[in-house]
Structure 1
Amino acid sequence: MPEGHTLHRLAGLLNDSFGGRSVRVSSPQGRFAASAALLDGTTMVAAWAHGKQLFCDFEHDRTLYIHLGLIGGLDIGPPAPVRGEVRVRLATDDAVADLRGPQACALVTPEEVAAMTAKLGPDPLQAGADPELAWAKINRSGRPIAALLMDQSVLSGVGNVYRAEVLFRNRIDPHRPGKQLSRRSWRAIWSDLVELMPIGVRDGRIDTVRPEQTPEAMGRPPRVDDHGGEVYVYRRAGQACFICGSRVRTEVLAARNLFWCGRCQRRG
């Protein structure tokens, strides 16, 4: 499932192509036809994201809400023929955006948008997001911090890659219960996310290794992985930790594969 940086990046691309412009909206697949007709020919005011949720505001207080889920995709580019099962197409004379296979796609009101976002935790990619809102829930919970970081009602936008990497970078045991995590450790996690996630928005990939552990600095080959990016532990089970040399571990936690170094990650 795309993490928050991907949705913020898509929002920026949508604004570049369609923001402030009259947009042709259609549903080639047909499943969104009635709602598409209400948006067709109206102006897209702005696209924005909150965590893994994407919103496209149109005039007349109408918002296109999208959750890509595990298999959804949004392709933005120059005009081209429709290919495959396209749920929604946004189009101008010089750009199209095709939405395929989303978990959710709906036309919603401002009140519904407010209700949805009220259930979400703070997003490190949003200016002014308050980390204390997440800390208040973490500090009361007996669940592992690795599970809490993936709970979108606690913290928005963090997925499997960022949770593994920020816990490693801050040497925090992923199994530590939230209520046993120090406030200092939480502030370090938040600061790391605020630093790393905008880089993901800019580059379209997740890179988390520090300069001294890059392939060039260590004389090692670059990572080859469908997810891209240089990382410390994510999907490196059984490989040597870049810091201590012990083997990276894995297990299923919160329904996703967790990766960590048992020697390095003892804090919290």
Structure 2
Amino acid sequence: MPEGHSVHRIARQFARNFVGRPVRASSPQGRFADGAAQLDGCTPTTVRAVGKQMFMEFDGDLWLRVHLGLYGAWDFAGEILVDPTIASANGRMGQTNQRGTDLATPDDAPIFDDAGENSLASIGAPRRTRVHVRMSEQTKGLDEADGLEAAGSEWPPPVVGQVRLRLMTDVTCADLRGPTACVVETPEQVAAVIARLGPDPLVGDPRENEERFVQAVRRRNVAIGQLLMDQSVVSGIGNVYRAEMLFRANLDPHTPGRAIPEEIVRGLWRDWVELIRIGVETGQMMTMDGLEGDEWRKAMAHRDDRHWVYHRAGLPCRVCGTEIVLEEMQARKLYWCPQCQR
């Protein structure tokens, strides 16, 4: 499931390529035909992400709400304007989400992840195959004059697979497949959904967000490993960030929220603020600190080299050498070190 950083990148891409442009909306699959008919011919005016959900406002007081869930993905084709605000912490461009992450290097070579997503062409559930109109290493080429990327020459792109919703401008196409939620809502319905969500570091007042998180955690007699995955407590954290944040805080995942000292809870929130910033800028859930040069390139290319404990069951802890444990918590995989996190 895409975590919060990916959804913010999706929202930025829609803001750059769709807001202010009339769209043609259709549902090739047919399951969203009525909703697509409502949006067809309308113009997106704003788009925002809150946690794992995206909200796109259209003229006429219509909102499109999308939650990708476990299997959803957006595929983009046509001319794609790059968001210049998405860069790594040292000012280098991080233009793709996972596969095809471009970072300036001494030899100007791009870094390609061995599995995952591409934020210019596809964001969401990883696929084993890719539609031929998506961005590829061969078709890639940034026009420095206008920041335009070409993602295939056939127009309009052929419909491939079960496309729930297709949004098209004159030059850009976005196809949505397999979402958990894809609905047209009123402003009041959208406000009600957002009100139920926990704080997102990239939305709203920073101090208020921190206080909401601290209070939500410290009043609950529920394991912190469960609370971090509760989207009413905090928005955007999924399995990867949950495991990594708890390790970075040296917290046993089973510790009840109310038993955790306030300063540690505040530290968790501030760590989430920093990690999501890095995630949005680079497109990677980079949770290991201090990596440089070849170590950085290796970590950007391989997921297993950029995390402390996630996906490392049975391997030695990078800090103490203890075997990393894998267990289930509320039907989701949880990775942690029983020595460091106690």
The answer to whether TM tops 0.5 is: yes
| AA partner of residue 172 (structure 1) | L
**Residue type of the alignment partner of 1:186:** V
Shift of 1:115: 0.6
The question of 1:21 aligning with 2:97 is answered no
Secondary structure in 2 matching 1:41: coil
Please point out which of 104, 117, 121 is paired with 2:194: 117
Which amino acid letter does the alignment assign opposite residue 200 of structure 2?
D
The match for 2:164 is 87
Indicate if the aligned counterparts of 1:205 and 1:229 stay in contact, CA closer than 8 A: no
Deviation at 1:171, TM superposition (A): 1.1
Tell me, what secondary structure is at the counterpart of 2:43?
strand
Q: Is 1:201 matched with 2:280?
A: yes
Q: String of CA shifts for 1:21-67, please: whole Å, max 9, x gaps.
A: 11111111111112211211111012111111111110111001111
Q: Which amino acid aligns with 1:12?
A: R
Higher RCO (CA-CA < 8 Å; seq separation 6+) = 2
Is structure 2 residue 224 aligned with structure 1 residue 142?
no
Q: Give the corresponding residue for 1:62.
A: 62
Unaligned runs of 5+ in 1: none
Q: Deviations over 1:192-218 (max 9, x none)?
A: 11011121112222110011599738x
Code of the aligned partner of 1:116: V
User: Structure 2 CA distance, aligned partners of 1:8 and 1:212?
Assistant: 24
Aligned match of 2:73: 73
Amino acid at match of 2:337: C
Identify if the C-alpha distance between structure 1 residues 164 and 49 changes in structure 2 by more than 3 Å, giving closer, same or farther: same
**TM-score, normalized by length of structure 1?**
0.92
Which SS does the other structure have where 2:30 is aligned? Answer: coil
5 Å matches for 1:1-268? 1-78=1-78, 79=155, 80-129=157-206, 130-211=209-290, 216=295, 222=299, 230-266=306-342
Once residues 293 and 328 of structure 2 are traced to their aligned partners in structure 1, the CA distance between those partners, rounded to angstroms, is 28
- In 1, the alpha carbon distance for the partners of 2:318 and 2:187 equals 47
Given that 1:214 and 1:230 are in contact with CA atoms closer than 8 Å, whether structure 2 keeps it comes out as no
RMSD of aligned Cα (Å): 2.0
TM-score, with normalisation over the residues of structure 2?
A: 0.73
The 1:244–1:200 alpha-carbon spacing in structure 2 relative to 1, beyond 3 Å, is same
Paired residues, number: 263
2:284 touches 2:300 (CA, 8 Å); kept in 1? no
1:95 to partner: Cα distance: 0.6
Residue identity opposite 1:54 in structure 2: M
Go from structure 1 to structure 2 and tell me whether the alpha carbon gap of 1:215 and 1:247 turns closer, same or farther (over 3 Å shift): farther
Indicate conservation of the 8 Å contact 1:23/1:92, yes or no.
Answer: yes
Query: Quick one: distance in 2 between partners of 1:243 and 1:262?
Result: 12
Identity within the alignment, %: 48
Give structure 1 regions of 4+ aligned residues with deviation exceeding 3 angstroms. Answer: 212-215, 221-225
Contiguous gaps of at least 5 residues in structure 2: 79-154
Could you tell which deviates more after superposition, 71-80 or 169-178?
71-80
Contact (CA 8 Å) 2:32, 2:164: kept in 1 or not?
yes
Alpha-carbon distance change, 18 to 212 in structure 1, aligned in 2, over 3 angstroms: closer
The one-letter amino acid paired with 1:15 is: A
Distance 2:191 2:262 in 1: 29
Distance apart, 1:77 and its partner CA: 2.4
2:43 and 2:24 map into 1 onto residues whose CA distance is 9
Q: Secondary structure at the match of 2:174?
A: strand
CA distance in 1, matches of 2:197, 2:18: 27
Change (3 A) 1:222 1:50: closer
